[in-house]
Amino acid sequence: MPNIPQSEPSSKPVPVRRLSKSRFLAGLQCHKRLYLEIHSPELATPPTPDRRAIMDMGTDVGVLAREFFPGGVLVEETHRQIPAALSRTAELVLDPTVQAIFEGAFVWQDILVRVDVIERLDATRWRLIEVKATSKVKATHLYDLAIQSAVLEGAGLLVDGCYLMHLNTQYVFLGGALNLEEMFALDNMTDEVQARRERVQPQLEEMWEVLQQPVAPVIEPDGHCQQPYECPFWAHCIKEKSPRWVFHLPGGAKLQNMLIQEGVETIDDIPAHIQLSDIQQHVKANVEWISPLLRARLQSVRYPVHHLDFETFMPAIPVFAHTRPYRPIPFQWSNHIEYEDGTIVHHHYLCVDGRDPREELAHRLLLSLGETGSVCVYSEYERFLLFALGDFLPHLKPALSKVVRRLWDLLSVIQQHYYHPDFQGSFSIKTVLPALVPKLAYDDLTIQNGAVAAVMYQKMVFSETDLMERAHTAQALEEYCGRDTWAMVELRRVLIGRVGGSVL
Ligand code: SF4
């Protein structure tokens, strides 16, 4: 990533007095990101509701993890009260009766960190623990620990061990109290962190240097913008890119990055000798394509055709017995049934309170699906959920297994047998629907994607007390899930039209 000044919206660089742990990590992803976060934060895309929900879930996991350390004391001062947080932390460090400190504030070389947990081992030694709501250790967590341990030691603490505490997704909650010993995994990452510690100082020096420049460094967007997470300046950095930018080629970052490195700017510029998958070739050709097998595939449905979609939520901390962290819990389904004469009937289910919805949801679903007809879905997700429901409800497993045998995946039919230039390489129903059925999209809905549906559902059943608000959310959820299944009805009709009308 060369640090060459360019004409990026010029900001008057104000003197930067302090970095934080999160800015250090932003700088590791990209120096331009660090620069923009400090000098032009208004260019960032604000977090979406689902992204905010993920962050809240991380906070909840962090709070729960504190129960693991009896005798620990929380530094309650917020990020707006840093001097008070620093002095409170210093007090707690000097108090030998304090066994652990949560959210302690430390500064070294103008780097401020708030540490999830430090645990007192004896009079001088401390253990550093970073809590993550993830299921496994990632490389970025090691740098997270590395910068924290550097600051702690710089601030005068003896750090004897760096640990990552994360969720054990194999833990099965049996109801009652959570078993934190089983739900959390505590991994000793001391050696891995040590290996990164020596790189911290030179990295910091580079970052300070970048921040003193009058303009942001020139760094082209590519795969690094998505690792470890999508950069909030992505929309800003790609705003001048063509819709045919090579990064929009589906099928993996490796090929995209290789093409970008070779100076290939658009999909149209990809040299003929580059081997592309079938889907990539259609994206490159950029014309409508209908497979000779599409008609037969469409004819393979059996009437009445059920069009089924589930909505799910995935709590990091299990809320229902016999679930695991991040286990998807279906709380809603919609089924548009199309009969052979063209009649359409709509059935739907939504759990509107905080009960475990799975048994009632499954019973109602089986009634709605009956014994005959194909069950049209869009992706393999419904198959996975039906299997999971069968495992949880053994008495319904045979009936649910029969439903699985009736599944008919519209997504795979489209991926293998049809392409439209407006897909722009994406087969998401959110892209395919407006391309093929322009009158029907999602932008008129309060809820426009499944992640937001999950957030709204959890708010409705676990925290919303206003009955009107709950009713509005329930309606928005019904409309969203219903749109997904109506979309499948319309998509099948359009595809039938493309192969010459009736497929009966
Ligand atoms: S989008 Fe990419 S290039 Fe732009 S600031 Fe973020 S990481 Fe850097």
For the segment 23-45, what is each residue's pLDDT rounded down to a tens digit? 999 999 999 999 999 999 999 99
pTM for this model (two decimals): 0.87
**pLDDT given at position 473:** 96
Q: Is the pLDDT of residue 103 over 90?
A: yes
Work out the pLDDT band at 48, boundaries 50, 70, 90.
confident
Q: How far apart are CA 59 and CA 444, in angstroms?
A: 32
Q: Is the pLDDT of residue 5 over 80?
A: no
Mean pLDDT calculated for residue range 105-125 = 95
Whether 162 lines ligand 1, by a CB cut-off of 6 Å, is no
**Ligand 1 mutation pick, 211, 219, 247, max ligand atoms within 8 A of CB:** 219
Q: Is the pLDDT of residue 335 over 70?
A: yes
Q: Which domains does the chain have, with CATH numbers?
A: 49-207 (3.90.320), 243-278 (no CATH), 294-498 (3.30.420.10)
Work out the pLDDT band at 14, boundaries 50, 70, 90.
low
Q: What is the dihedral of CA 75, 77, 81, 83, to 10 degrees?
A: -30
Give the single-character DSSP code of 343: -
106-115, 118-127, 255-264: segment of lowest average pLDDT: 255-264
Whether 237 lines ligand 1, by a CB cut-off of 6 Å, is yes
Whether 373 lines ligand 1, by a CB cut-off of 6 Å, is no
**Ligand 1 mutation pick, 3, 32, 36, max ligand atoms within 8 A of CB:** 32
Q: How far apart are CA 487 and CA 142, in angstroms?
A: 44
Residue 259's H or E segment, with its range, is helix 253-261
Taking the centre of ligand 1 as the mean of its atom positions, its distance from the CA of residue 316, in whole angstroms, is 29
Whether 231 lines ligand 1, by a CB cut-off of 6 Å, is yes
47-51, 116-120, 151-155, 298-302: segment of lowest average pLDDT: 47-51
Contact 45, 234 (CB under 8 A): yes
**pLDDT given at position 261:** 85
Mean pLDDT calculated for residue range 242-257 = 87
* CA 33 to ligand 1: nearest atom: 5
Work out the pLDDT band at 16, boundaries 50, 70, 90.
low
Q: Is the pLDDT of residue 198 over 50?
A: yes
Whether 28 lines ligand 1, by a CB cut-off of 6 Å, is no
Q: 304: cis peptide before it, omega within 30°? A: yes
Contact 99, 70 (CB under 8 A): yes
Tokens representing residue 465 in the block: 């007390």
CA dist 156 → 127, 151, 288, 441, 499 (Å): 14, 9, 66, 58, 74
Work out the pLDDT band at 3, boundaries 50, 70, 90.
very low
Contact 309, 334 (CB under 8 A): yes
For the segment 446-475, what is each residue's pLDDT rounded down to a tens digit? 999 999 999 999 999 998 888 999 999 999
Mean pLDDT calculated for residue range 307-322 = 96
Taking the centre of ligand 1 as the mean of its atom positions, its distance from the CA of residue 4, in whole angstroms, is 15
Mean pLDDT calculated for residue range 82-102 = 96
Q: How far apart are CA 465 and CA 7, in angstroms?
A: 51
For the segment 133-184, what is each residue's pLDDT rounded down to a tens digit? 999 989 999 999 999 999 999 999 999 999 999 999 999 999 999 999 999 9
375: which strand partners?
306, 407
Whether 30 lines ligand 1, by a CB cut-off of 6 Å, is yes
Angle at the Cα of 249 (from 261 to 410), degrees rounded to 5? 160
Residue where the block lists tokens 């149209």: 268
Whether 35 lines ligand 1, by a CB cut-off of 6 Å, is no
Whether 221 lines ligand 1, by a CB cut-off of 6 Å, is yes
Q: How far apart are CA 21 and CA 151, in angstroms?
A: 10
Mean pLDDT calculated for residue range 58-87 = 94
Q: How far apart are CA 141 and CA 125, in angstroms?
A: 22
Whether 34 lines ligand 1, by a CB cut-off of 6 Å, is no
For the chain, what is the mean pLDDT? 93
Mean pLDDT calculated for residue range 69-98 = 95
Taking the centre of ligand 1 as the mean of its atom positions, its distance from the CA of residue 239, in whole angstroms, is 12
Closest CA relative to residue 178, chosen from 344, 67, 42:
67
Work out the pLDDT band at 501, boundaries 50, 70, 90.
low
Whether 219 lines ligand 1, by a CB cut-off of 6 Å, is yes
For the segment 268-297, what is each residue's pLDDT rounded down to a tens digit? 999 999 999 998 999 999 999 999 999 999
Q: Is the pLDDT of residue 4 over 50?
A: no
Taking the centre of ligand 1 as the mean of its atom positions, its distance from the CA of residue 202, in whole angstroms, is 21
**Ligand 1 mutation pick, 30, 236, 238, max ligand atoms within 8 A of CB:** 30
**pLDDT given at position 206:** 96
Work out the pLDDT band at 15, boundaries 50, 70, 90.
low
* CA 234 to ligand 1: nearest atom: 1
Could you please report the per-residue DSSP string of 287-303? S-EE-TTHHHHHHT--S
* Proportion of the chain above pLDDT 90, given as a percent: 84
Residue bearing the CA closest to ligand 1, atom 7: 225
Q: How far apart are CA 102 and CA 117, in angstroms?
A: 5
The runs of H, that is alpha helices, within 302-449 are 358-369, 381-392, 397-405, 410-417, 429-436
**Ligand 1 mutation pick, 4, 33, 230, max ligand atoms within 8 A of CB:** 33
User: Going by C-beta distance under 8 Å and a sequence separation of 6 or more, which residues neighbour residue 431?
Assistant: 422, 423, 424
Closest CA relative to residue 248, chosen from 428, 28, 99:
428
Mean pLDDT calculated for residue range 238-259 = 89
Residue where the block lists tokens 């990020």: 79
For the segment 216-234, what is each residue's pLDDT rounded down to a tens digit? 999 999 889 998 889 999 9
The pairing of strands 184-188 and 158-167 is: antiparallel
Whether 26 lines ligand 1, by a CB cut-off of 6 Å, is no
* CA 216 to ligand 1: nearest atom: 5
Percent of residues in the chain assigned helix, strand, coil, to nearest 5: 45, 15, 35
Q: Is the pLDDT of residue 6 over 60?
A: no
* CA 36 to ligand 1: nearest atom: 5
For the segment 399-423, what is each residue's pLDDT rounded down to a tens digit? 999 999 999 999 999 999 999 999 9
* CA 237 to ligand 1: nearest atom: 4
Work out the pLDDT band at 18, boundaries 50, 70, 90.
confident
